[in-house]
Structure 1
Amino acid sequence: MHKQGIKAWKHSLVFILLILCIGGLAVRHYLLVRKDGQMLGELARRQQQMTIIDPGRPGGIFIASGRSCTPIAISRQAPLCFVDPSLAPADQLDEICRKLGGILGKEAHELRGAITRRPNSRFVVLAKQISGEQAKAVKALNLQCVGVVHEWRREYPANELCATVVGFPPAPGVANTGAGIELTYKDLLAAKDGMMLSLTDAIRRPVEPLDDRRVLPEDGSNIVLYIDAPVQEALEKALAAAVEKHQAQWANGIVVDPKTGAIVAMASAPSFNPADYSSATPANRTNRAITVPYEPGSVAKPIFAAAAVEAGIVTYETKIFCENGTYVMPRAGRVSDHGEAHGWLTVRDGIVFSSNICMAKIGQMTGNERLYEIATSFGLGRKSGIDLPGEDAGIVRDLHKWNTYSTPRVPFGQEVSTTSLQLVMAFSALVNGGELLQPRVVNRVLDSQQRVVWQSERTVVRRVISEGVSAQTRSVLADVVERGTGKMARMNRWTSFGKTGTAQVPGPRGYEPGAYTGSFIGGSPVGEPRVVCLISVFKPKRAGYYGSTVAAPYVKDVLEQAMVYYNVPPDRPEGQERRR
């Protein structure tokens, strides 16, 4: 009986202890749910889920090549290494950073700093654009807190082709960086990243995406330029040849469709590769065709002559006495024709043989106020509004700063500074029927589904001369090539027109001795101009410096290749092909 009582008492004690344990567990469960449930639930969720960035694809930049488009800036996927700091064990962090540093080529302390600065983040980038071998090595570490995903990397498959127009993208978070189309259209080209949540296994490998929590990426828009690849290649080849042969500091050029204002080629030499832009000098990254103004010299003569004809001040057959080569003016100094002793010349021949004295006298007939109006109406000293960054307005001084020295000199291209873009657009207005057009580089913008969302349109800024005077001016400029200073630009199969220019380079104390900018601007064919091309060569040191020598032959090469590319029928009269 006594033994049975003891046994019953033991059973009761065990039962009471069991009840107390269950009660304690219940209380603990209550406290966990009440006080720490949210924290523990969040911890469980973070251990079971992974946030994966789904990067959108940046838009591309394309140029024309026949009936198709050629990519000159595109994005391809490249591996990226990241870490999830919330899963990185603190006592193993140094060892993790040491291993990753050896693979990624970075210092361990640098990686540790990146991780510890953002302890609450789930996605800290350690290295971008790593190689395939590096990606495999990172994965082989089999670390729960480290992963590899892919991002889009910018590539330039055409290398230096069209580099100063395309430019390069701005550096993230760095002000005043980027250039060209990449900068102007950065917002359109940019993609919006998506995000995906995924369930993970014990070692943090994604196993099942949570589609209801996914945000899809948005790809960037694509930009299609008016640039024609074969014409661009011809222009770049010509500029490089001119710089090399004449040991020039630089050269730039533009080819434009004078009827529409579309820029079909634009380049500078020396240039750079956008894929490695940081190793290039700032000068070589500069689009000199729109950012570097210079005195145009004699290429400006047709602008002022045509405007004087339009105003009825002269005609192209008006005869002007050119003082046998030297013209001394009261309170205006001396103007010469650089060794040429011209007597009476028509205005036409004054342009054909590039007489400074002829243009000086036209300036005196015209007067400063009207000369100023001519310069500004043709777009000199004003930004054109081209869709590229960094355009310079050039220099046309305010009228009250002009004096009696300005009157004879502005008409032959002194005392004003223009960019190549301003010159080529003004010249296009001379030969396209008299309309100054806004230049355009971008043809259209396409969304990620290749649908046109924006299309460029021809824009007339103003009419500067009549169609009749424009036709007369083309005839005069054709004579420049046939029998004047532009003979080096004469083609065998097509008619052409143009004007030479040789300008002194201004310095801090007047013009620099022996420093010139040699230019030629011309187009083809004479009847219906398809293209106009300008090439300017800055400070040539060898084999001449006149525009007729350092620029005209290269413009001819570009025009010939453009005529072939655009399938322009030869229009030179039969029997003149071989005559020089």
Structure 2
Amino acid sequence: MPRRISSKTSKKLVGLFLAVILALVGLAVRITSINATEGQQYKRIVMTQAQQQYDTRTIPAQRGDITDRNGTVLATSEKVYNVILDCKVVNSDVEDSEGNTSQAYLEPTVKALVSVLGMNEADIREKLTADDTKNSQYVILEKNVSITKKKAFEDYCDTGSDENKDLTEEEVQERENIKGVWFEENYVRTYPMDSQACDLIGFTYDGTTADWGIEGYYSDILNGTSGREYGYYNMDADVEQTIIPSTQGRNVVSTIDINIQQIIRSAIENFNNEMATDKNKTNGAQNIGVIVMDPDTGEILGMDSNYWYDLNNPRDLSDYYTSSQLKGMTNDEMMDALNKMWGNFCISDAFEPGSVFKPLTMAAGLETAAFDTDAKFTCDGGEQVYDKYIQCEGVHGTQTLNEVMKNSCNDALMQMGEKIGVTDFSKYEDIFNLGSRTGIDLPGEEAGLIYTDETMGPVELACAAFGQGFTLTMIQEAAAISSVINGGYYYKPHVVKEITDSSGAVYQSVNPILERRTVSEDVSADVREAMAAVMEQGGTGYVAKIPGYSMGGKTGTAEKLPRGEGNYLLDFVGFAPLDDPQVLVYVVVDEPNTEAQETSVYAESIARNIFIQLLPYMNIFPDEEGYTQDNVTTVTCTNNDLLNHNYQSYDNGIEVNDYGQTYGTDSSTESSMAQAGTYDENGNYISNGQTHSVEQEITDQTVGETGISDTNLADTPQDTGTDQTQTDNSYYSDGITNEDAQYYQDTGYQDTVYNGG
């Protein structure tokens, strides 16, 4: 029989049921009361705990890449991670199954950070115990950790992976107690080519901000838009999580070719190896600049100077200063040294160009019909201009236009300047964009200093005609010469070809900008013919001529301020082929490291070594009869080779003898020939064991263009580019200081006499 529940037991069960019901009703009332009075506070606590790493977290944007014209990456942003430690979680007390509490997360977490990520244990424990960080939920332990290390840490913590299947229960528990560590995404800027094209590329200070090079000029385009991951309350006080993704920056495709950059770098290194005397072979000259340009578009194919630095470590000055020198520098001196290294000589330094300006004078004269192609000019050694006699570097007799350019005759150029006149000469300075910035898409461009037609007197005109008494930058000269050899078209120089998005689609094409016509096609052809004469045997540019290629060029020597101290700036501008120029090379050597500086050979040697590699690389084929790419010389030269006639002479150029000699590459090795610029105690030049006077040595070999010192020449100020000139100053420039202008006015610049070319 089934057992019946007694009346007494039944009453007890009913009582228990009623008690449970009353308890539940009480709990419901209490929950309702809490929700009504403190619900919002608890919601905020829950949201804070759930969202502690998100409510203020920025999602960084990836900065766009910079590439060369062929797609080689020059600058890129690599994803890295910051290791974040939640000290509050790591230090928290954890209750085990038996009710005991301990800091169960502390030791496993410290162990993992040390063993897997290689962090310093003492540093970690200091963060976990210091009063200002022990309760912090956001402490950066290490920045820029690679994705490889991040993955290794995550794999270590993943106890369910195949790699960790053999762990003991204790080891599994230990790894499961690794808490409070997370990885915050970031990006670091890297430069795969190190110092190559450093002047052009520039660098970022923190991955997003920059002042130098393409990085600085196109910084806003390269930078993307950062995203955001955060939490907030909606209208109902409910927790919401929102993620706004970041937008990657756009990529910049430059006009430069990294292979051409390497050709330029090799030529400058060759020069420094021969001429430099410091340990790191960096002081071959005070400044060296090279521009390789497409004269038909204004595209810069390559640009470099002799102050190189690793873009991945841009504050390293150890190549240029000893450790003791660096330690002795003040902060201001350190910044001056860095700014000099970071600067771009090709666009930021203005100088007197010397005779490389002469083709522009000739072009202006022909275009204004001041003289024609049949004109002849007689050089008797100089010109009397008012009360000043300005001498030439020789007596050249009666010359055609081509012979004037071939001999680089200052006397004839002064006569040309007089025929052109102040008004037209000044007009063509403006047409050639002198005294104004070219607008190249790089920061830090200077404008140079020129006279206006109101302030240019006869002496100033005579000197300006052969390239002295005013200043310009390398990019101004390269752009102007390009216009007079390409048919008369002045293109704005530029270093960027196009801008693309993250998928590689073209966002913007940077097309060549034709700014003006400078001369006619006929005048352009006449100038090219005259510049071809410079490269002929007996011409000042002969040693830069490569047999097999038709070429044009112009040499220059400019005595620097203060006059009479033997300091020269030497330059050479050349192009090929002659009738259809496809590439222009402009080289400046400022104060080569030698006592006798006054020969353009120091610039021509660099240009020659560039052309030898550049022309075949650009598929510019030999166009002189009897030559192919197989029989064109490929031997690089030194200054010593050219100064000491270590070459075979031909009507259409020289071939340097390949003796397998190197200069300056090993301090323990002595050359069988005296190094260029070596002198005895009497100041005479030494070559091949024989002693000559400097003038006799250079004249006998007929190489390069020479300048003549004159200690009586008055000093004139250079363009410092530090502030704007007032409108009532007598000299037009975007860069001359008011102090400079006052110096001109006080010293009577009209009385200054120049000579040399």
CA deviations 1:233-268 (Å, max 9, x no partner) are 111211232344332112011111111111111111
1:237 aligns with 2:266: yes
Q: Tell me, which stretches of 5 or more residues in structure 1 are unaligned?
A: 1-6, 199-209
Any idea what SS the aligned residue of 2:408 has? coil
Q: Match for 1:292: what amino acid?
A: D
Contact 2:87 2:128 in 1 (8 A): no
TM-superposed deviation, 1:28: 3.8
Q: Alpha carbon RMSD of aligned pairs, Å? A: 3.8
Q: Which residue of 2 aligns with 1:270?
A: 307
Q: Which residue of 2 aligns with 1:411?
A: 465
**Aligned pairs for 1:61-76 within 5 A:** 61-64=66-69, 68-76=70-78
The separation in 1 between residues aligned to 2:500 and 2:599, in whole angstroms, is: 41
TM-superposed deviation, 1:123: 5.9
- 2:502 pairs with one of 448, 464, 481: 448
**Aligned pairs for 1:75-114 within 5 A:** 75-83=77-85, 103=119
Q: Match for 2:361: what amino acid?
A: F
Contact 1:501 1:546 in 2 (8 A): no
Q: Match for 1:60: what amino acid?
A: D
Contact 1:242 1:551 in 2 (8 A): no
Q: Match for 2:142: what amino acid?
A: A
Cα 1:358/1:309, change in 2 over 3 Å: same
Contact 2:65 2:73 in 1 (8 A): yes
TM-superposed deviation, 1:137: 7.2
Cα 1:109/1:412, change in 2 over 3 Å: farther
Cα 1:424/1:111, change in 2 over 3 Å: farther
TM-superposed deviation, 1:69: 1.7
The separation in 2 between residues aligned to 1:363 and 1:319, in whole angstroms, is: 14
TM-superposed deviation, 1:154: 1.5
TM-score by length of 2: 0.65
Q: Which residue of 2 aligns with 1:504?
A: 559
The separation in 2 between residues aligned to 1:114 and 1:466, in whole angstroms, is: 78
Q: Match for 1:267: what amino acid?
A: D
TM-superposed deviation, 1:320: 1.9
Contact 1:83 1:115 in 2 (8 A): no
Cα 1:305/1:283, change in 2 over 3 Å: same
Contact 2:392 2:410 in 1 (8 A): yes
1:192 aligns with 2:225: yes
Q: Match for 2:358: what amino acid?
A: K
Number of corresponding residues:
551
Bigger share in strand: 1
Any idea what SS the aligned residue of 2:186 has? strand
Cα 1:26/1:153, change in 2 over 3 Å: same
Contact 1:298 1:502 in 2 (8 A): yes
CA deviations 1:64-116 (Å, max 9, x no partner) are 3xxx4211111222231224588676999xx9999989926996799699996
The separation in 2 between residues aligned to 1:110 and 1:320, in whole angstroms, is: 85
Contact 1:170 1:182 in 2 (8 A): no
Q: Which residue of 2 aligns with 1:248?
A: 285
CA deviations 1:262-305 (Å, max 9, x no partner) are 11111111211111112243222211111111110110111011
**Aligned pairs for 1:391-470 within 5 A:** 391-470=445-524
Any idea what SS the aligned residue of 1:299 has? helix
Contact 1:368 1:406 in 2 (8 A): no
Same amino acid, percent of matched pairs: 27
Bigger share in helix: 1
1:327 aligns with 2:383: yes
CA deviations 1:157-191 (Å, max 9, x no partner) are 111111110100243797xx531111111122123
Q: Which residue of 1 aligns with 2:623?
A: 571
Q: Which residue of 2 aligns with 1:556?
A: 608
TM-superposed deviation, 1:416: 1.3
Any idea what SS the aligned residue of 1:153 has? strand
Contact 1:104 1:127 in 2 (8 A): no
The separation in 2 between residues aligned to 1:106 and 1:369, in whole angstroms, is: 77
Cα 1:479/1:429, change in 2 over 3 Å: same
Q: Which residue of 2 aligns with 1:482?
A: 536
The separation in 2 between residues aligned to 1:113 and 1:417, in whole angstroms, is: 64
Contact 2:572 2:587 in 1 (8 A): yes
After the TM superposition, which of the residue ranges 156-165 and 342-351 deviates more from structure 2? Answer: 342-351
- 1:171 pairs with one of 206, 227, 235: 206
CA deviations 1:16-52 (Å, max 9, x no partner) are 9878865664454234312332232232234345537
Cα 1:171/1:416, change in 2 over 3 Å: farther
TM-superposed deviation, 1:328: 3.0
1:260 aligns with 2:289: no
After the TM superposition, which of the residue ranges 139-148 and 363-372 deviates more from structure 2? Answer: 139-148
CA deviations 1:133-153 (Å, max 9, x no partner) are 975679879664431234222
The separation in 2 between residues aligned to 1:449 and 1:115, in whole angstroms, is: 48
Q: Match for 1:290: what amino acid?
A: I
TM-score by length of 1: 0.84
CA deviations 1:485-537 (Å, max 9, x no partner) are 0001111221111000111222xxx3361111110000001011110000101
Q: Match for 1:468: what amino acid?
A: D
Q: Tell me, which stretches of 5 or more residues in structure 2 are unaligned?
A: 1-8, 94-102, 158-174, 232-238, 276-283, 318-337, 633-649, 654-757
The separation in 1 between residues aligned to 2:389 and 2:178, in whole angstroms, is: 83
1:59 aligns with 2:64: yes
The separation in 1 between residues aligned to 2:506 and 2:122, in whole angstroms, is: 44
TM-superposed deviation, 1:562: 2.2
